[in-house]
Structure 1
Amino acid sequence: MENFYLFVIMSLLFVILPGPDIGLITQNTVTSGKKGGIDTVIGITSGLIIHTSAAVFGLSAIFVKSALLFSIFKYVGAVYLIYLGVTSIWSSKKNKGSSGDGHQTKYKNKSPFRQGFLTNLLNPKIAVLFLTFFPQFLSTGMKPFLQFLMMGLTYTVLTIIWSIVYVNLINYISSWMKKPATQRAIERISGFVVLGFGIKLAIEKRP
């Protein structure tokens, strides 16, 4: 493939760019600790692997060209993001006077892995990204199958590395971030962020 190093730099910029994944990682790391953040990252990574496999085997091309499939995934993903955002905002208000331990216990039955997995899997923009961004780096001297596989795995690895660094950063300043008042503020902010991405996804036109 052509300009592999440029692809890595551009992919890293896409990975670092704030999105619903980062909002979810922040919320789950603060509320469930480092393990919650890592579980979210594993879920997000699992979703990326499925998107990579779909792109490699050509399913993403069919998916993006089908208005019906795109709309189904778009609205299901948007509803799920809106649900996560609303429940996060509602939770921050409901627990305004509660202690930190009670707030932490509330998240014991949550599944950060499932949240990360569904948030990423139900985001059709990942499939669009793979099929609009990746082809720009294809070369004629190598089979597209192998190039898509290499780019998909590279993007996934970069996502894992950045996400783990981010989780550790959040966990490092957890003494401040885990104060009840700070938790409620972060939960509310991340809730609005995720809610905003859900609404944006719902009203966004098909490319």
Structure 2
Amino acid sequence: MINIVTFVIMSFFLVILPGPDNVILTRNTLREGRKGGLRTILGICLALLVHTLIAIIGLSAIIASSAYLFSIFKFVGATYLIYLGVRAFLSVRDNKLKAPALSESCQAADENFFRQGFLTDLLNPKVAVFFLTFLPQFVEPHVHSFVPFLLLGFIYTALTFLYSLFFILLIDQISGFMQKQSTQKVIQGVSGAVLVGFGLKLAFEKAPA
């Protein structure tokens, strides 16, 4: 038996906690509107489903129990977040370009939005460990089927999708102000600092005991 109600309530509060996903989602929505935000959401949700499957087949347990594998996964994820942060800093300089060139730059970047959302989540070992430790708490101990875990993973992914969709629609509503060049420079600079900060935090994260 699955404690669905408790799981949904707990998952909702975990989903709305700020993290790298929110930063990427905000940045991409402001750069390309709803389309950019939606592509990022789809990437994030696909990564969550992959983490669900990884937890089910036990690879997350290996990552969580092996300090060596955890460190490899951690540093790859941290490097990617820092890379995105540096790109955000560089885009502050790009904002000095004329509007047509900036539009062309955003159009080219649009192709990467799905990949950014996907890799940001997939390369975060904390997400893998989270699924490994969080999901079993809501399934009865005697249940040995993978179906309840798969269902919980889908529910968590659906909640993430719905909240993220609301989030990008809200951002899109105030995009007129947010798309001003001066505002963009501040957003890109802050996004870059936050992403680099998350990357450094992840790099120094200790492996679970």
Rounded Cα–Cα distance in structure 2 between residues aligned with 1:162 and 1:137: 21
Q: Does the 8 A contact of 2:3 with 2:139 survive in 1?
A: no
Q: What SS does the aligned partner of 1:127 have?
A: helix
Rounded Cα–Cα distance in structure 2 between residues aligned with 1:27 and 1:17: 17
The 5 A counterparts of 1:34-183 are 34-92=34-92, 94-110=93-109, 111-140=112-141, 142-183=143-184
Provide the identity percentage.
Answer: 50
In structure 1, the gaps of 5 or more residues are: none
| C-alpha displacement of 1:79 | 0.3
| C-alpha displacement of 1:205 | 0.6
Rounded Cα–Cα distance in structure 2 between residues aligned with 1:100 and 1:182: 15
TM-score, length of structure 1 as denominator length = 0.94
Rounded Cα–Cα distance in structure 2 between residues aligned with 1:87 and 1:45: 23
TM-score, length of structure 2 as denominator length = 0.93
Q: Does the 8 A contact of 2:49 with 2:157 survive in 1?
A: yes
In structure 2, the gaps of 5 or more residues are: none
Confirm or deny that 1:21 pairs with 2:6: no
Rounded Cα–Cα distance in structure 2 between residues aligned with 1:96 and 1:32: 14
Rounded Cα–Cα distance in structure 2 between residues aligned with 1:67 and 1:154: 30
Q: Does the 8 A contact of 1:40 with 1:116 survive in 2?
A: yes
| Structure-2 residue corresponding to 1:205 | 206
| C-alpha displacement of 1:59 | 1.7
Letter in 1 for 2:136: P
Q: Does the 8 A contact of 2:78 with 2:199 survive in 1?
A: yes
| C-alpha displacement of 1:136 | 1.6
